[in-house]
Amino acid sequence: MIDTLEKPDVQLTQEEKQLKRVLIICSKGKLEDVYAALVMANGALMEGIEAKMFFTFFGLEAITKKGADHLHTATVGNPAFMPAMPTLLAGLPGFEAFASFMMKKEMDKLDMPHVTEFFEMIEAGGGEIFACKLAADMFHLKKEDMLPQVKDIITVGDMYALAAGDRTQIIFI
């Protein structure tokens, strides 16, 4: 009993190691959600951490040639966005486009790249971008509809294989 209690705590002696790899799953297509995924993937690469991205469901919009640079933020059903704004007004035609335009303008001030340029940066840094097969089938999207940085359309099983190995984290957005 005393022996057990006196055993040194092995965990305390272990050296802390940096993450080796992150897999970021983006299932949403709102501007702020996609940017969260992009910033985290690019940020990982900047720290010398491998980054893989997997886009599924509405997140697929972010990797389509047509949609990538035209993402919107939601002005309705988004209580943190202009809390004083009545929902009915926020739902008026053109309001969402205007709000998204204003948000992109603020991002430009911070020197944030547009979505397609962000993907180019991530690819240049060695990051890999994948699309979900099931969602692509559902939305009738093919590889040629997607940005050139999209490496492949893969199954959920293949996605887990991307996160193989220890010191890997999966982040779901």
Partner 1 sequence: MIMETLLTPTLELDKEGYLKNPAQWTPELARDFAAKANIVLTDKHFDVLNWLRAKHAEGVPLTIRKVGASGLVDIKKFYELFPGGPLKVSSKIAGIPKPASCI
- Which of 30, 31, 42, 131 lies at the binding interface for partner 1 (CB under 8 A)? 42
E-state strands within 16-71: 21-26, 50-55
- Which of 24, 41, 45, 136 lies at the binding interface for partner 1 (CB under 8 A)? 45
Please list every residue from 75 through 114 that binds partner 1, using CB under 8 A: 110-113
DSSP letters for 106-123: HHHHTTPPPHHHHHHHHH
**CB of 114 or CB of 133, closer to partner 1:** 114
| C-alpha distances out from residue 112 to 10, 36, 104, 120, 121, Å | 43, 12, 9, 13, 11
If one asks whether residue 46 binds partner 1 (CB under 8 A), the answer comes out as yes
**CB of 76 or CB of 116, closer to partner 1:** 116
Stretch that binds partner 1, among 23-31, 41-49, 88-96, 142-150 (CB under 8 A): 41-49
Q: Give 146's Cβ-side CA count (13 Å radius).
A: 25
Stretch that binds partner 1, among 26-34, 38-46, 71-79, 96-104 (CB under 8 A): 38-46
**CB of 111 or CB of 144, closer to partner 1:** 111
| Phi-psi label, residue 48: left if phi above 0, alpha if psi -120 to 50, beta otherwise | left
In degrees, to the nearest 5, what angle opens at C-alpha 136 toward C-alphas 44 and 41? 5
Assess contact for 50 and 8: CB atoms under 8 A. no
**CB of 68 or CB of 122, closer to partner 1:** 122
Q: Which residues are near partner 1 by CB under 8 A?
A: 39, 42-43, 45-48, 110-113, 117, 120-121, 124-126
